[in-house]
Amino acid sequence: MKSSVKQLFDRVAEDYDMQRRQLIPCFDDFYGMALNLMESPAASPRILDLGAGTGLLSGMVLQKYPAARLTLMDLSEKMLEGARRRFAGSDQVEYVVGDYTKHPFTDSYDMVISSLSIHHLSHAEKKELFRTVYQLLEPGGTFINADQVQGRYAESDAYYRRCWLEAIRQSGLSDEAISASIERRKVDINAPVEDQLVWLEEAGFSIADCMYKYLDFAVFYAQK
């Protein structure tokens, strides 16, 4: 499964940032809420971005915390090439090509962030990752995950899908880009909001909540 995800995102690496706004009907609110939740008392917070892709979310974080130290991790080297270009010349950013569900992390972080990545994992892998993230965070550290979620009912998911398809077809995307996006979503393994909050609490987080939701796009916040 992970190899198919990697191949799908390798193919769109060059156009990913340009298309992201068109593929997410609630782009501004979705990323805006994630960024608002990223609060740290540290002037130079250590931040791990899981499934960082081209560094879109990390780029927003650096505008908020110009002295932040960032570690970007992704399965796709081609996606991270976009991040390397985005942060060219910066000594605050390091890059790790690999599978964050298996990586032997050795550092700790003030914040762990992720956007539109964790929903590709099996539910068992999500639960294990939440435990890993908890261990990686310093006391008081936070985990912000902007991701896709499953509805409580099949009817909900069908409605989400209809709304999303209508939005992207009106966005100006080419038929080819729309078809490729629909193909990528075939490997999604979305989980319900309620289940993910339980898994975060089971991982040890003292606070876990869904702070924003629009259709199947949600922003989670958890604090150690």
> What DSSP letter does each residue of 75-109 carry, written as one string?
S-HHHHHHHHHHTTT-SSEEEEES-TTT------E
Q: What is the model's pLDDT at position 18?
A: 65
Domain residues for 28? 2-223
- pTM: predicted TM-score of the whole model, two decimal places: 0.91
How many percent of the chain have pLDDT more than 70? 92
Task: State the CATH number of the domain containing residue 83.
Answer: 3.40.50.150
Residues facing residue 145 across a β-bridge: 114, 220
CB atoms within 10 A of CB 198: 13
Does 8 have pLDDT greater than 60?
no
- Tell me which H or E stretch contains 50: strand 46-50
Share the mean pLDDT of the chain: 90
Split into its structural domains, the chain has a count of 1
Task: Inform me whether the pLDDT recorded for 1 exceeds 70.
Answer: no
More confident of the two residues 9 and 60: 60
Residue where the block lists tokens 């990323």: 31
* Interval 165-175: pLDDT, tens: 999 999 888 88
